[in-house]
Structure 1
């Protein structure tokens, strides 16, 4: 975040510069060309998922630069709206109203975040003196600016749904993910070249080099996050866009905000994250009920496990 804001580097070029080595590492680690041959029904959706992933990374980077790390991370959980969509299309009327209520709570949380409730400077729960009005206008965001990371969160959930539906086994999931990241890099290449040569304002765009900014994004933001999320989902049954996942992420956000001495209000953040957690809990109530009702059957029934895994939204 500090690299993008202090250097004015292009978000597209930065993301592309991180995706190129990440895709090479994923291909070397997973070797998707080895093992059982992949069918077109698996490869083609993974390639399409690469295009979605490329758009997601661009929106995520722009949201990070404009909204800051806290609001960008919290907006990732907006993917739970896919649970609302599934209830509207396939659910019963009672579940629909619960999910709509969860959606309203999520939107309220994002609105409070956009108004700076989690910032010590602007939070109504902070005793810190406010800055002058022109600085507040730069710091406090509107929902229109928050829509960038919110859309990124929805795309993130969508790519997880596609990845889950085309890969029913853990090893297959990792091989297809390598194809997805490589596909995202290829889709992003012409956009990055256009941004490098033409630039958004008609002038050339520079990309200052910072070893820590690139290495940390590659290692933590692209590579390790995939394996950690896979382990959390398989071993701990902690899926993304769930209240437990939000609780763990919230604890990490509190630590990192204090370590980096950011403009942070603990009380405001706890209130916003609690409202968001309640919204996610209500929005995913139907899928959670289905999962709990099928947790006891014989584990040898692979078809039942696959159906359960494929039907759970928004992850």
Structure 2
């Protein structure tokens, strides 16, 4: 007769592992809350002042890249190979385009649709499944893609806004400040959707190029510096074109929160989530954290917000992400315990491509 001792030891080890992860999970939630808070402050600043999105992003990227260069010093230590530096520079161009598209999507679509649009990067999981997956799982991924598109369509039709939501229960405010967002269509939603795909692509490239934590930080400094260089001529041209009739206003909180929480802190928070919590960005668990933060900020900022409509859209999006990024059971079992080699055992934004 087998002794129950191994079972009790497994339960004890599982409980201790959960206790060790609890502080990291709290840090992850707080970090994402601060990042989403910076998004709302950025949206209010851009919508009320009419400032240029490109100039705002450049002014935030410049001090961020200086921070990472000073902190990581990529020119010191072991020399980086061209096979690592060149993809990081290319990734900088992708990052610059991501910031432009996402900023324009935030200004035109509002924070709810811009933040949820970032999770469109899960379509890379669909692409991976179509190219390298099995037939039965391809249809699950395609179904997840359709669910994601349905969620974005409902968001574009104003389901998350009390003014346009088809659900009778909402928390619309009588204050005029609550009606700052406008109803948009799928054409405007393309900005945050494309930005989300680019965001996932740059994360995949960074993950494939950097295999160690210290190397990842050094290459991120190169990527952000490259993004700043790519964005510089665009920002200067935008300033020259608009200098005759638009003055660049300034908001200390909008700029500082975007720099500190939206670009610097969030990098370390995402690194902790991937390396210690085995949680990638485009995952239902990450979406759940973001949804809770969005609900708090919508209430605090007195936005035109429908809680029930938002929950419906977020639930459909979460189901779509789960189906689009889920691995089949055999591969997931084989990946258990392989996170130290850079393979996540929960959800992935895109399966590793063969080299």
For the criterion TM > 0.5, the same-fold answer is: yes
1:207 partnered with 2:243: no
Aligned residues: 304
Q: Give the direction of change, closer, same or farther, for the CA distance of 1:296–1:2 in structure 2 (3 Å limit).
A: closer
Q: Using the alignment, how far apart are the partners of 2:348 and 2:293 within structure 1?
A: 26
Structure 2: segments with no counterpart, 5+ residues: 1-42
Q: Using the alignment, how far apart are the partners of 1:179 and 1:288 within structure 2?
A: 37
Shift of 1:293: 2.6
Paired position in structure 2 for 1:111 = 153
Structure 1: segments with no counterpart, 5+ residues: none
1:281 partnered with 2:322: yes
Paired position in structure 2 for 1:22 = 64
Conserved 8 A contact 1:118-1:272: yes
TM-score (norm 2): 0.80
Q: 274, 298, 301: which one pairs with 1:233?
A: 274
Q: 226, 245, 261: which one pairs with 2:302?
A: 261
Conserved 8 A contact 2:280-2:349: no
TM-score (norm 1): 0.90
Larger radius of gyration: 2
Paired position in structure 2 for 1:169 = 212
Write out per-residue CA displacement over residues 121-170 of structure 1, whole angstroms, 9 at most, x where no aligned residue: 11111346899xxxx9x821110110100000000000000000100001
Conserved 8 A contact 1:117-1:124: yes
Tell me, what secondary structure is at the counterpart of 1:286? coil
Q: 124, 132, 145: which one pairs with 1:90?
A: 132
Paired position in structure 2 for 1:41 = 83
Shift of 1:74: 0.2
Stretch moving more, 279-288 or 76-85: 279-288
Tell me, what secondary structure is at the counterpart of 2:51? coil
Shift of 1:203: 4.3
Conserved 8 A contact 1:63-1:146: yes
Q: Give the direction of change, closer, same or farther, for the CA distance of 1:4–1:308 in structure 2 (3 Å limit).
A: closer
Q: Give the direction of change, closer, same or farther, for the CA distance of 1:283–1:180 in structure 2 (3 Å limit).
A: same
Q: Using the alignment, how far apart are the partners of 1:289 and 1:263 within structure 2?
A: 45
Shift of 1:230: 0.7
Tell me, what secondary structure is at the counterpart of 2:198? helix
